[in-house]
A and B are shown apart, each in its own frame.
Chain A
Amino acid sequence: MTSSTTQESTSGETPGHDSSTHAPRPSGPRLPPNLVYLAKRAGTYLVVFLVSLVLNFALPRLMPNDPAQSMIRDIYEKTGQRPSEYQMSIIHNMYGDPDTPVWEQFWNYMVQLAHLDLGRSIMYYPMKVTDLILQALPWTVYLGLVSTLLGWLIGTYLGARLGWKPGRLLDSIITPFAMFFSSIPPFWLGLLAVWYLSYSKGLFPAQGAVNQRMQPASLTNSDWVLSVLYHSVLPLIALTVVGFTSWLFSMRNMMITTVNEDYVHLARAKGLSPERVRNSYAARNALLPNITGLAMSMGGILMAVVLAEAVFIYPGLGGLIGASTAVRDYPLMQALLLIVIVLSLIFNFIADSVYVLLDPRTREGS
């Protein structure tokens, strides 16, 4: 696994992670530095994507028991007949074929992926894996985006407030609480919420994403939308309460250092109102690490969302992952792995682009 990634990285980019130090090379055609930065990030993500393709190809072949054999057996048990010729070719492409060399297998696998053919699920035979994922995807994106944005906004705002005057009453109350909340596993908080608020008090629905009787399921149907919102209250709370804390800490600590910068003193000396100094001078600059942090945290956020979905039996990717691992639905799992990686890379890239928009240093170079 490691050796394959090393090979991959030889072709790789200069890992310009700390964007601020990057300056365009004087020779050659001058591209705007922000584009250079974005291109570099995109290049990194492309390499990561290729690595994940290789991983996806290599994992089933490296594992001690042969998934191809067990899958053929599973299909036989599920459907009562031998897998068709087409299925056999897919299985062999994806999980290893004892008769063909590895390079040919890899080529076949890539060709199949290029056709977006990820095979058919075993669990929901004969549903196409891509269809299953497309059904589940909006729910996960909804939960993930809303909870992340909420957590980020709350955390950053509170962090800016607390870091502006650290050691004050508000700071000494909220910070220890946040320290404790930051270490709670979100899925466990979700369990507590289900147990107490749903089953014990009956305030919120315990599971599902929407009341199935609300038809038709469309965004124009206000009943349906309300039901979706109502069902997502608990998962969102569980995710946000845990999620906002890390933003709070990084913002608070960054704010404490920023407050002593010269330009903040200058703004104060000019006689600007404290709110203006805080919001337009100190917080604006302290914000940047939080935005890079947003890009870095997508993988972790997805993990939290997936687990929360498992707890709330939410029809998103998490439910699919849990179900497919339980019955070892390999085609579905591999497709899920790919889609989750692609998703987190896409969101990383969006966060990077926002960073470029906000940080003038990436726009103007040195």
Chain B
Amino acid sequence: MIRRFLSNPKVIIGLSIIGFFTLVAVLGKPFSTHVLGRTPQSIFPEAMGVGPSWSHPLGTTVSGQDVLTWMMHGTYNSMFVGFASAIIASFIAIAMGTAAGFLGGITDRLLNGLILIFQNLPSFPVLIIAATFWREMPLIVVSLLIGLFEWTGGARRIRAQALSLRGRDFTTALRTVGESKLRIVFVEVMPHMFGIISPIFLTLIAAGVGMQASMAMLGIGSAAEPSWGLIINYAFGMNALFRGMWWWFVPPGLCLALLGFATTMVNFGLDEITNPTLSSKRLSLMRKFLKRNRRRSTPSTPDKVPAGATS
């Protein structure tokens, strides 16, 4: 399963993009401080608002700050929020989903109701308001808030999976043997959950990064910690659009798009593996095969096999 997962080109592309950003997040800060000798605060008065050059590969801002350094620090902060919120949200999702699925009965109904409420509550305005009441909200609190509102989709999927696993033979067998519920859930069933938890986690990373970027774009959160959204906000606020300073606002948005793209790719790859009907490679192979077959025995084959037939 894992090997098939890793041999899917979409998954490979997606995972390597995510890996790249994680690497930049980890190494970018020390690299910019120690190798380039720059911090987001250092100002280059001789190069104010100039385009990409050798000394400033991504140009500088209006006030003469190096955009590349900002991007490296921003990647760290954005990825930090992404991972932190994803960890928080998937933790809640796993707890809620498995509890609802396994305990059943009244607990299930209660938890499911809770999931439903949080799902229908538009998280973005609530996040904005909460963030505004808390001046200069630190990134970890931002991640916590995002995590608190992003878990519902995952919880529903995990619950569905838990419901189906509860009815399987092996859990029934374990229960008759007398294993404790906790042990069944954590030792025997959890491994079966990883297949759905990992895509949920990846999606949550991208969602968290995007949510933080949107909040920072509106100027919410700490103004001192550079993130992709904050860079765009500054560029927008300092009229980079009018001045045509594309090197300032294009990279952060591109990074956001690439990260989202990577998650989409991984999820699509996973879909293709778990649901072979959707695999584009198989589909085209199947079509070729059908065409060749049809040509060989044209009159006898009834034309009932549809173009994208499975089986």
Say whether A associates with B: yes
Contact of B134 among A64, A265, A330 (CB under 8 A): A64
* In the complex, A83 has a CB within 8 A of chain B: no
A244, chain B: closest CB distance, angstroms: 14
Docked CA distance A9–B309 (Å): 45
Instruction: Verify B257–A191 contact, CB threshold 8 A.
Output: no
A48 to B250, CA, bound (A): 38
Contacts of A171 in B (CB 8 A): 280
| A48/B113 contact (C-beta < 8 A), A260-B308, A265-B304 known | no
Is A185 touching B278 in the complex (CB atoms < 8 A)? no
B113 touches A9 (CB 8 A): yes
Number of residues of chain B lying within 8 A (CB) of chain A: 69
Q: Does A321 contact B (CB under 8 A)?
A: yes
CA distance A224 to B135 in the complex (A): 41
Pick from B121, B133, B232: contact of A341, CB below 8 A: B121
B205 at the interface (CB under 8 A from A): no
Known: A15-B115, A188-B253, A260-B310. A194 touches B241 (CB 8 A): yes
- Taking CB as reference atom, which chain A residue is nearest B303? A268
Residues of the B chain whose Cβ atoms lie less than 8 Å from the Cβ of A257: 277
Contact A325 B218 (CB under 8 A): yes
Contact with A along B139-178 (1 / 0, CB 8 A): 0000000001000000000000000000000000000000
Alpha-carbon separation in the docked complex, A300 to B211 (Å): 10
Say whether B110 contacts A10, CB under 8 Å: yes
State in angstroms the CA–CA spacing of A194 and B245 once bound together.
Answer: 12
Task: Indicate if B132 sits at the interface (CB-CB under 8 A).
Answer: yes
CA distance A93 to B124 in the complex (A): 24
What residues of chain B lie closer than 8 Å to A56, measured between beta carbons?
A: 129
Q: Are A307 and B217 interface neighbours, CB within 8 A?
A: yes
A23-31, A142-150, A214-222, A331-339 - interface stretch: A331-339
The segment from B18-26, B49-57, B184-192, B261-269 that touches chain A is B261-269
Q: How far is the CB of A224 from chain B (nearest CB, A)?
A: 26
Check A55 for interface membership: any CB of B closer than 8 A. yes
On chain B, the residues within 8 Å of A64 by CB distance are 134
A337 touches B126 (CB 8 A): yes
Q: Are A299 and B114 in contact (CB under 8 A)?
A: no
Other-chain residue from A6, A8, A183 in contact with B257 (beta carbon distance below 8 A): A183
> Is B199's beta carbon under 8 Å from chain A?
no
Given known pairs A256-B277, A321-B125, A325-B219, the reply for A183 and B304 (CB within 8 Å) is no
Residue of A whose beta carbon sits closest to that of B243: A199
Chain A nearest CB, measured from B42 CB (Å): 26
Q: Which residues of B contact A32 (CB under 8 A)?
A: none
Interface 1/0 per residue, B200-224 and A, CB below 8 Å = 0000001000100110011110000
Chain B positions 259-298 with a Cβ under 8 Å from a chain A Cβ: 259-261, 263-265, 268, 271, 277-278, 280, 283-284, 286-287
* CB-based contact B120/A48 at 8 Å: yes
Q: A167-B283, A179-B265, A256-B278 are in contact. Are A269 and B304 (CB under 8 A)?
A: yes
- A59-B129, A188-B232 known; A167+B121 contact, CB < 8 A: no
Are B241 and A185 closer than 8 Å at their CB atoms? no
Contact between A344 and B217 (Cβ–Cβ < 8 Å)?
no
Q: Are B241 and A195 in contact (CB under 8 A)?
A: yes
A51 to B122, CA, bound (A): 12
Interface centre among B118, B128, B260 (most CB of A within 10 A): B128
Find out whether the CB atom of A259 lies under 8 angstroms from the CB atom of B129: no
| Cα–Cα distance between A199 and B258 once the two chains are bound (Å) | 26
A299 to chain B, nearest CB (A): 3
Do B213 and A15 touch across chains, with their CB atoms under 8 A apart? no
Q: Does B246 contact A (CB under 8 A)?
A: yes
Q: Which residue of A lies closest to B302 (CB)?
A: A269
Find chain A residues with CB under 8 A from B129 CB. 56, 59, 333-334, 336-337
- A273 on interface, CB distance cutoff 8 Å: no
Known: A14-B109, A310-B217. A302 touches B124 (CB 8 A): yes
In the complex, B238 has a CB within 8 A of chain A: no
Residues 140-188 of A at the B interface (beta carbon under 8 Å) = 164-167, 171-172, 175, 179-180, 182-185, 187-188
Separation in Å of the A164 CB from the closest CB of chain B? Answer: 8
Q: Taking CB as reference atom, which chain A residue is nearest B263?
A: A183
Give chain A residues whose Cβ lies under 8 Å from the Cβ of B124. Answer: 299-300, 302-303, 306
A8 to B115, CA, bound (A): 12
A187 and B125 within 8 A (CB): no
Asked if B130 is at the interface (CB within 8 A of a chain A CB), the reply is: yes
Is the pair A340, B122 in contact by a Cβ cutoff of 8 Å? yes
Closest 3 pairs (CB-CB, A-B): A183-B260, A299-B122, A188-B253
Residue pairs across A and B with Cβ atoms less than 8 A apart, 28 shown, are A6-B110, A9-B114, A13-B113, A15-B113, A17-B112, A64-B134, A65-B133, A67-B133, A166-B280, A172-B284, A182-B261, A185-B256, A188-B252, A191-B253, A195-B240, A253-B278, A259-B306, A260-B308, A260-B310, A265-B304, A265-B306, A268-B306, A302-B122, A306-B218, A311-B236, A322-B218, A325-B220, A341-B121
Q: List 11 extra interface pairs beyond A167-B280, A337-B125, CB under 8 A.
A: A6-B114, A165-B308, A185-B253, A195-B249, A299-B121, A306-B124, A325-B220, A326-B219, A333-B128, A340-B125, A341-B121
Residues of chain A touching chain B, judged by Cβ–Cβ distance below 8 Å, are 1, 5-6, 8-10, 12-15, 17, 44-45, 47-48, 51-52, 55-56, 59-60, 63-65, 67, 164-167, 171-172, 175, 179-180, 182-185, 187-189, 191-192, 194-195, 199-200, 206, 253, 256-257, 259-260, 264-265, 268-269, 296, 298-300, 302-303, 306-307, 310-311, 321-322, 325-326, 328, 330, 333-334, 336-337, 340-341, 344-345, 348
